[in-house]
Structure 1
Amino acid sequence: MDQFKNKVGNKEELRSIIGFPSELASKKVILYIDSHCADFIAKSPFLMLATADEHGFCDVSPRGDMPGFVHVLNEKQFVIPERPGNKRLDSLCNILSNPKIGLLFFIPGMEETLRINGKAAIIKDEELLEKMAVKGKKPLLGIGVEVEECFIHCAKALKRSSLWDTDSWPAKETLPSAAKILFEHAKLPKSTVNTIQKGLEESYTKRLY
């Protein structure tokens, strides 16, 4: 049963409800990586990567490593190393069919974020990949991004969520169990919550790179 019965139908109606951005918000977008954006990227250990396939089916995926893991090449290009994951390759497959990409960079403790939109390609350039090696292991591939827009996003969402306020964090024993969720969703024969938990722990300790 559809619970969404009263929907906004067009941009004019949307603007009539929300209004228009300030002059600062309208003019804050730049088309390249300047020294401020490069410094933000260098200090960021975590980003969210948004992609869509040729049909518009969307996906958002996290990427993280030590600060500086994203390599800025020039004012228009940077590379994200593709570290070992679950091999679903959702983001990479999307990029092959639709190169448009959106990214959100985070710095722990900072409530503003950096948004970058552009085009992506999957790169296998050995010279670039070698520069992103960790513990002697280079990534098999990288995501090369050509920047089309850069801008700072205001802190309101992180302030409202108290994301960096450790006093607001729930107690660990109350958190959802990833192993239990995977067990219930995948329904693999002969698996248990314990075997899945052990597999996760092994992956996190032995296969980060």
Structure 2
Amino acid sequence: MSHEISSFEELRTLFGEPSELAKRKVISMVDEHCRNYISQSPFLVLSTSDEKGYTDASPRGDAPGFVLVLDKNRIVIPERPGNKRMDSLKNILSNERVGLLFIIPGMLETLRVNGKASLTREPELLERMKAGGKEPLLGIVVEVEECYIQCGKALKRSGLWNPDRWADPSTLPKGAEILAAHSKMPEGSVADIELRLEEGYKNRLY
């Protein structure tokens, strides 16, 4: 007997109907409430996929308000220096559809934005998004199609903002160890990678 869910009808039977509030909460623009949220958010997750449907979720962060709200229909995310893989950017070139999840530390509710993205090197926009004395390499312009608040149940359950529920720092995974194990580079000892990471965090944020 298969326990796999294979139809929307099965899902609807399992979960029931959404409330009127859930049905009506989606708007098609960045109103003053969403603008205020974005202006105070220092972190977002950018979700993209390529033309074949292969997906990627990538973090973006900077000082609160780092995402520029141009008007009710467009926002711009600065693209700072990274590892040069350009996974999100390559995906946007082949599939313009993106999803964003904005987070404000200490707040349970998150903000979800869906729309169509493009890449720009418009000088005036890059100048407005300067940080650390440097312009971003480019801007990700998102034409907003859906914008809505997400209830805080997931963050509440996770205890994300509750220090009493955080793991002991000594037990946390170490990024350098994971990179060394996954890359299997002959010259990539854990100590070497730790130094490279720290140097990048210190000197190449912008």
- Picking from 144, 147, 152, the partner of 2:144 is 147
Q: Distance in 1 between matches of 2:171 and 2:205?
A: 26
Distance of 1:190 and 1:107 partners within structure 2: 39
Q: Which letter does structure 2 place at the counterpart of 1:58?
A: T
Shift of residue 166, structure 1, vs aligned partner? 1.0
**Inter-partner Cα distance in structure 2 for 1:135 and 1:93:** 26
**In the aligned structure 2, how far is the partner of 1:140 from the partner of 1:170?**
36
| 1:73 paired residue among 63, 66, 70 | 70
Secondary structure, counterpart of 1:145 in structure 2: strand
Residue 87 of structure 1 pairs with residue 84 of structure 2: yes
Correspondence for 1:115 among 112, 115, 119: 112
State the partner residue of 2:49: 52
Q: Which residue of 2 aligns with 1:187?
A: 184
Distance 2:96 2:132 in 1: 30
CA RMSD of aligned residues (A): 0.7
In structure 2, what is the equivalent of residue 167 of structure 1? 164
Q: Give the TM-score taking structure 1 as reference length.
A: 0.97
Q: Count residues with an aligned counterpart.
A: 205
Tell me the TM-score normalised to structure 2 length. Answer: 0.98
Match of 1:206 in 2: 203
Quick one: distance in 1 between partners of 2:32 and 2:180?
46
Which of 117, 127, 131 pairs up with 1:130? 127
In the alignment, is residue 61 of structure 1 matched against residue 39 of structure 2?
A: no
Query: By how many angstroms is 1:172 displaced?
Result: 1.0
Q: Which runs of 4+ in 1 moved over 6 A?
A: none
Deviations 1:28-52, CA, capped at 9 Å, x for gaps: 0000000000000000000000000
Query: CA shift at 1:6, angstroms?
Result: 2.0
Distance of 1:185 and 1:6 partners within structure 2: 34
State the secondary structure of the residue aligned to 1:62.
strand
Equivalent of 1:178 in 175, 180, 196: 175
1:88-103 matched pairs, under 5 angstroms: 88-103=85-100
Q: Percent identity?
A: 59
Distance, in Å, in 2 between the alignment partners of 1:113 and 1:131 is: 25
Partners in 2 of 1:78 and 1:188 — Cα distance?
Answer: 40
CA distance in 2, matches of 1:155, 1:202: 36
How far apart, CA to CA, are the structure 1 residues paired with 2:17 and 2:202?
Answer: 48
- In structure 2, stretches of 5+ residues that fail to align are none
Deviations 1:34-92 (A, max 9, x none): 00000000000000000000000000000000001000000000100001110100000
